[in-house]
A and B are shown apart, each in its own frame.
Chain A
Amino acid sequence: MLFAACLSVVQIAARKRDLNITVAASELVAREWHVAKSGRDTGNGSAKSPFLTIGRAAQAAAPGDKVMIHAGTYREQVILPRGGTSEDTRISFMAARGESVSVKGSEVINSWKSLGNDIWQADVPDSKFGVFNPFDLMVKESKAHLGEIYVDGIPYQEALSEEALKAQPGRWFALTVNSMTRILVNFGKIDPAKKQVEMNVRPAAFIPGKQGVNYISIDHIDVSQVASGYASIDTGQPGAISTGGGTHWIIQNCRITNAKCVAISLNQPGGHDLKRNIPTNPAFGEFEDISSAGHHIVRNNLIQRCGQAGIFSLVHGTVSEIYGNQIEDITGVEGLEGNDVCGIRLAVVVDAIIRNNLIRRVHNGSGIFMGPLYQGVRISENIITGISGSPMYFYRSHGLALIDNNVIEGSMGKGVELHGAEANVFAQNLFANCIFSNEPLPAREASGTINYLSHSLVTKQTIPATILDNRWFANVFVNKGIENLPKEHGESDYNAFLGGAAKSSWGDVHSKVVASNGGFELMSTLGGIQLNFDLTALPEIAAPIIDAEFIGRFALSQSIETPAGKPITLNADFFGNSINDRKGIVGPFLKFPKQDSKSAQLFNCEIKKEAKK
């Protein structure tokens, strides 16, 4: 009898399973889910009965579905339980057409109590935070907490002591006591009751609930005030938007502001034991399967006022395209300095393309930071300016990277820094006020530096990375040249050196030097980037077309080629003018869009804003 009953339970379960399969098959047609501030999570997610939270829609969405988010501010951490299974079955999260959607990692505080002398106090119970309290966590070894206070969207500065708090308005100080966090703010003459005061409480805005959530799109969404933690290739790389080891995401047309550390992280969950670095067991040799890495598109995003990096990647920048992004005011969390802070960082990356991005105003950091390990990478048509550190920093790699048609402006004596990095090809760029340095790595660090098989993450070699054999062709150098590089650092030729920039002592047979700097000026404004430069100041140089045949192969057999293995020919300038009409002109500009003009708009922020609508 008991046996019979069991059978019937199994049969019922099987019938239910069949039923579910039938239902799933009938629902293969993509659904559109709606989220609105007027909705309820108990609704059915339709346009007429929208959900209240994006997270609820994420729970409901199946491969191929779209989640349309209607206007409003959503204070939540959207956990993505699943993604799509192919390009055709992405799960997309997007603002409804013409509507403005904001996802915030913060909560409003309105329980202010004046303590006098412009100091106000608010006690926030631990329940507001859950397990994550950014006011109780430090950013790496810095003196700063992950927490942040925003007044009408503008972050106040953390005071390191109550005395420092009293000394200057616009500062906050926090301490955790007895199951609550006490926030003290020096508002100056401002009445907080008349302002929107917010505190960050969540570590991410969009994050997968598990590893391997693939084919997600996030489109036209503002993300702000996220307490994203310090990103490191050793310990983890959180971000306001984090792909969490997933592949094939598209993050586009978003505006990401005030992330405490990183805005967009194409991350590899988990830490990494850097002690494991010997030739027979090298660091970063464990990935191997390139199909399970990256393949992301990050485009046309506006990333502003982040503490560590605009875009940060370990492994998953692989086969990814990062283009049309405007990354600016990377402030550098106090105490975080040097290469931790940057506009874009890609570590352990194969076949990535970084194109047509504007990176400006990075404080205490670099513009683009590649490495350790980058291979088959192209960095093209970017504008980098106003960087207090190196506009480009290349670290520990056998290359190959093709850096072409960029406009790179150094400042404060800083320039392009190569550190144990070989096989980088710099072609048709304009470098202004930009020195070059090329330093070897300590032997222990250099050893076991992987070179992958082309277009893969399969280890081919584990040999020391050298400082040798980088190549400079058909570039324009303004004010500063490559005279700093010692002898025998590779090949350099067909370059133009202007305004005091000097040639290498070991190459540059066909390069030319002219005294004029062509009136070079890179104007960085709210509207974008304008270049003032007299192209007629360029000396005539009969440079060849820069192609794979001209460049040749490097020691590890690399050549300039696309991720598909097709040889690359630099057949166009920054504006797409055909190089066949070069007529002796080198650098990224054969001519400006306006005939005979001495200036050109290189990046138009206004157009970007239009595009965002």
Chain B
Amino acid sequence: MNVNFIKNIVGTVLFFVLSMPLFSQNIKPYPVQAYHPAPFVHPGLLHRAGDLQRIKEMVAAGQEPWKSGFEKLAAHPQSSADWKAHPQVHVERTLLAGHSKGIGDLEKDVCAAYQNALMWCITGNEAHAVKAIEIINAWSSTLKVFDGTDVELGAGLCGFKLANAAEIMRCTYPAWSPAEIKQCQAMFMNVFYPPIQNFALWAHGNWDLACMKEMMAIGVFCDDHALFDKAVDFYYKGPGNGSLTHYIINENGQCQESGRDQPHSQLGIGHLSEMCEIGWSQGLDMYGAFNNRLLKGFEYTAKYNLGEEVPFEPHTDTSGRFPASKISTSGRGNLRSIYEMVLNHYENRVSLAAEQYKYTKMAADKLRPEGAGFNADNPGFGTLLFSLPNNKINY
């Protein structure tokens, strides 16, 4: 990692954050910095080639914790090569009573595509590759309209997972034809990207973040650097609740949604960490931004959900719509499968002192082996996918 490059980014970020007005959520078409001018690494989303190789080897060797992590994945219904896709022309994710269309089908199918892609890489069983491609092709040849009040969430979450599946398959399964890959890219650009292009500034931060992580993922899969840069730029200085310091609002690690409920807070920091992981795949250290702010959010959230108390600062979000005066107990204690990825970065990649990731580790230890993410929210299966050997080798 080029240290000067990172310093430049941090300096620029600080300038913009400090000069930003509090309540004007103005997106102006300012030129976005080229965060990643070099060609993308492929596969380069949540899993690089080396990661996939490691997972495969560890599972084949019957090593823990990968072994029990893999058992979780293999036992999951959407990891089955017999999964049946239900592609739809029109998907609507909406809050409005009685209007929802096809979103359940899409959520399940993108998980099935992603999990079959992983199963293919880990087991070498081609039936999984065929299934993953079948699901992706089925949707890319069918889906035309994606809308609804919550389309940003639907497109963001599902697009992210589907792009991860597609990125793995493009790099590992040459039988996926260029025409079909092109068709998949066209679906991302024409159906998934338009609803998320302006983020979701009016909403809780997990909305922006769903858009941001999808944008980053589509950027890599479609080799579109402008999209990638736009998402990374938003992470550092976006005017919505999803940018890093608007989501993890202080050095204590309090989150924008801490006063809302705990599941959404975990969803949000999970999104942030997935962006960081893609960034890491592409050579950017977003984990380290603002003095490891991401980890502070994880520590705060894990600590509270493990039953300890945390300080809470009354806070109004950047949209002005969601003032919070106290931390929410709603959903407290229900840990989500988001902790292994972050733990392994700070513990094994950058080797921070153990007390800095104490609660993240406790949460990961408690959940291990991590199972599926909730619906299509987060990738899940972190024990299998993100555990690094405890030998400080930088993967």
Stretch at the interface among A153-161, A172-180, A549-557, A588-596: A549-557
A488→B149 contact, CB < 8 A:
no
B201 within 8 A of A: yes
Q: Are A556 and B22 in contact (CB under 8 A)?
A: no
B95 proximity list for chain A (CB < 8 A): 279-280, 462
**Complex: A279 Cα to B240 Cα, angstroms:** 21
* Partner pick for A490 among B23, B27, B202, CB 8 A cutoff: B23
Taking the nearest CB of chain A, how far is it from the CB of B99, in angstroms? 9
Given A469-B23, A469-B25, CB of A463 within 8 Å of CB of B321: yes
When the two chains form their complex, are residues B201 and A280 in contact, meaning their CB atoms are under 8 A apart?
A: no
| A489–B198 CB distance below 8 A | no
Q: Which residues of B contact A555 (CB under 8 A)?
A: 25, 201-202, 240, 319
- B320: contacting residue among A280, A453, A466, CB under 8 A: A466
B367 shortest CB reach to chain A, Å: 32
Residue of A nearest to B94 (CB): A459
Within 8 Å by CB of B149, from A461, A490, A553, lies A461
In B21-45, the 8 Å CB interface with A consists of: 21-29
Tier of interface size on chain A:
20 to 34
Does A281 contact B26, Cβ atoms closer than 8 Å?
A: no
A280→B96 contact, CB < 8 A: yes
Q: Do A466 and B321 contact each other (CB < 8 Å), given the known contacts A281-B97, A488-B23?
A: yes
Q: Of A280, A459, A552, which contacts B27 at CB under 8 A?
A: A552
Q: Is B203 an interface residue (CB 8 A)?
A: yes
Q: How far is the CA of A453 from the CA of B202 in the complex (A)?
A: 14
Q: Whole-angstrom distance between the alpha carbons of A398 and B202 in the complex? A: 10
Task: Chain B residues near A490: list those with CB within 8 A.
Answer: 23-24
Cβ distance B329 to chain A, nearest Cβ, rounded Å: 21
Which single residue of chain B is at the shortest CB-CB distance from A398? B202
Question: Per-position contact with A for B292-322: 1 when CB-CB < 8 Å, else 0?
Answer: 0000000000000000000000000001110
Q: Which of A194-242 contact B (CB under 8 A)?
A: none
Find out whether the CB atom of A556 lies under 8 angstroms from the CB atom of B201.
Answer: yes
Closest to A450 in B: B149
Q: Mark A457-495, 1 if CB is under 8 A from B, else 0.
A: 001111110111101000000000000000011110000
Instruction: Choose from A282, A549, A554 the contact partner of B25 (Cβ within 8 Å).
Output: A554
For A281, give the chain B residue with the smallest CB separation. Answer: B97
CB distance from A221 to the nearest CB of B (A): 43
Q: Within the assembled complex, what's the spacing in Å between the Cα atoms of A489 and B23?
A: 7
- Whether A464 touches B321, Cβ cut-off 8 Å, given contacts A459-B149, A488-B21, A556-B202, is yes
- Given A490-B23, A491-B21, A463–B28 Cβ distance below 8 Å? no
| A280–B94 alpha-carbon span in the complex (Å) | 9
Asked if A310 is at the interface of the complex by the 8 Å CB criterion, the answer is: no
* A285 CB-CB contact with B under 8 Å: yes
* Contact of A553 with B26 at beta-carbon distance under 8 Å, contacts A280-B95, A281-B97, A468-B320 already known: yes
Nearest Cβ on chain A to B93's Cβ, whole angstroms = 12
Considering the complex, give the chain B residue whose CB is closest to the CB of A488: B23
Q: Is the CB of B27 within 8 A of A553?
A: yes
B interface, over-half SS: loop
Contact yes or no, A285 B96, CB < 8 A: yes
Taking a contact as CB atoms closer than 8 A, the residue among A279, A552, A557 that contacts B28 in the complex is A552
Q: Given A469-B23, A488-B21, A488-B23: A459 and B321 within 8 A (CB)?
A: no
In the bound complex, how far is the Cα of B319 from the Cα of A468, in angstroms? 8
A460–B92 Cα distance when bound, in Å, is 11
Most buried by A among B23, B29, B201: B23
CA distance A461 to B198 in the complex (A): 14
Whether B202 lies near A461 (C-beta < 8 A) is yes
Which of chain A's residues has its CB closest to B30's CB? A552
A549 interface neighbour in B29, B149, B198, Cβ under 8 Å = B29
Given A555-B201, A556-B201, check contact A468 B96 (CB 8 Å): no
State A279–B321 Cα separation when bound (angstroms).
14
- Cβ of B203: which chain A residues have Cβ within 8 Å of it? 463
User: Shortest distance in angstroms between A129's beta carbon and chain B's nearest beta carbon?
Assistant: 45
Closest to B25 in A: A555
Distance to closest chain B CB from A555 (angstroms): 4
| B149 contacts A460, C-beta separation under 8 Å | yes
Q: Which residue of the partner chain A has the closest CB to B320?
A: A468
CB distance from B324 to the nearest CB of A (A): 14
Least CB distance from B302 to A in Å reads: 30
**Residue in A279, A398, A555, A556 with the greatest tally of chain B CB atoms within 10 Å:** A555
Q: How far is the CB of A372 from chain B (nearest CB, A)?
A: 17
Closest Cβ of chain B: how far from A507's Cβ, in Å? 8
CB proximity to A under 8 Å, residues B131-179 = 147, 149
Kindly supply a per-residue 1/0 record for chain A positions 279-311, scoring 1 wherever the CB is within 8 Å of any chain B CB and 0 otherwise.
111100100000000000000000000000000
- Nearest-Cβ distance from residue B303 to partner chain A, whole angstroms: 31
- Write the A537-571 contact mask toward B (1 if CB under 8 angstroms, else 0): 00000000000010011111100000000000000
Interface residues of B in 68-105 (CB under 8 A from A): 95-97
With both chains docked as a complex, state the minimum distance between the C-beta of B151 and any C-beta of chain A, in angstroms.
8
Task: Tell me, rounded to whole Å, the shortest Cβ–Cβ distance linking B170 to chain A.
Answer: 31
A496–B196 Cα distance when bound, in Å, is 38
Q: For the complex, give the distance between the alpha carbons of A479 and B241 in Å.
A: 38
Q: Roughly how many angstroms separate A462 CA and B198 CA in the complex, as a whole number?
A: 18
> Which residues of the other chain, B, contact A467 by a CB distance below 8 angstroms?
320
Rounded to whole angstroms, the CA-CA distance of A459 and B147 in the bound complex is 10
- Distance between B292 CB and nearest chain A CB, rounded to angstroms: 29
Given contacts A280-B97, A285-B96, contact A469 B24 (CB under 8 A): yes
Contact, CB under 8 Å: A462 / B23: no
Residues of B with C-beta under 8 A to A460: 149
Min CB gap B156→A, angstroms: 15
Considering only CB atoms, which chain B residue lies closest to A491 in the complex?
A: B24
- Are B26 and A468 neighbours in the complex by a CB distance under 8 Å? no
Query: Residue of B at shortest CB range from A489?
Result: B23
Closest to A464 in B: B321
Q: CA separation between A400 and B385, bound complex, in Å?
A: 46
Bitwise, B175-211 to A at CB < 8 A (1) or not (0) is: 0000000000000000000000010011100000000
Identify which of B24, B96, B97, B201 gathers the most chain A CB atoms within 10 Å of its CB: B24
CA A285 – CA B96 in complex, angstroms? 9
Q: Quick one: which of B95, B96, B149, B240 has the most chain A CB within 10 A?
A: B149
Residues facing B in A404-424 (CB within 8 A) are none
**How far apart sit A275 and B198, CA to CA, in the bound complex (Å)?**
33
Within 8 A of A (CB), among B192-249: 198, 201-203, 240
Q: How far is the CA of A488 from the CA of B25 in the complex (A)?
A: 11
A450 to chain B, nearest CB (A): 9
Q: Which residue of A lies closest to B201 (CB)?
A: A555
A203 to B141, CA, bound (A): 58
Q: Which residues of A contact B22 (CB under 8 A)?
A: 488
- A281, B23: Cβ atoms under 8 Å? no
Specify which chain B residues have a CB less than 8 angstroms from the CB of A398 in the assembled complex.
202
- How far is the CB of A426 from the nearest CB of chain B, in Å? 14
A463 and B26 in contact, given A285-B96, A488-B21, A491-B21 (Cβ under 8 angstroms): no
> Bound state CA distance, A461 and B26, in angstroms?
19
Question: How close is A355's CB to chain B, nearest CB, in angstroms?
Answer: 26
Cα A280 to Cα B99 with chains together (Å): 10
Q: List the B side residues contacting A464 at CB < 8 Å.
A: 321
Q: Output the nearest chain B residue to A558 by Cβ-Cβ distance.
A: B198
B215 to chain A, nearest CB (A): 15
Residues of B within 8 A of A553 (CB): 26-28, 198
Residues 329-363 of A contacting B (Cβ, < 8 Å): none
Question: 17 A-B residue contacts at CB 8 Å?
Answer: A279-B95, A280-B95, A282-B96, A459-B96, A462-B95, A463-B203, A463-B321, A464-B321, A469-B24, A471-B24, A488-B22, A489-B23, A490-B23, A490-B24, A554-B26, A555-B240, A555-B319
**Given A468-B24, A555-B202: 16 more A-B contacts, CB < 8 Å:** A281-B96, A398-B202, A451-B202, A459-B149, A462-B149, A463-B203, A463-B321, A469-B23, A469-B25, A471-B24, A488-B22, A488-B23, A549-B29, A553-B27, A557-B27, A557-B198
A residues near B (Cβ < 8 Å) are 279-282, 285, 398, 451, 453, 459-464, 466-469, 471, 488-491, 549, 552-557
In the A-B complex, the 7 residue pairs with the smallest Cβ-Cβ separation, listed nearest first, are A555-B201, A552-B28, A552-B26, A557-B198, A488-B23, A555-B202, A468-B320
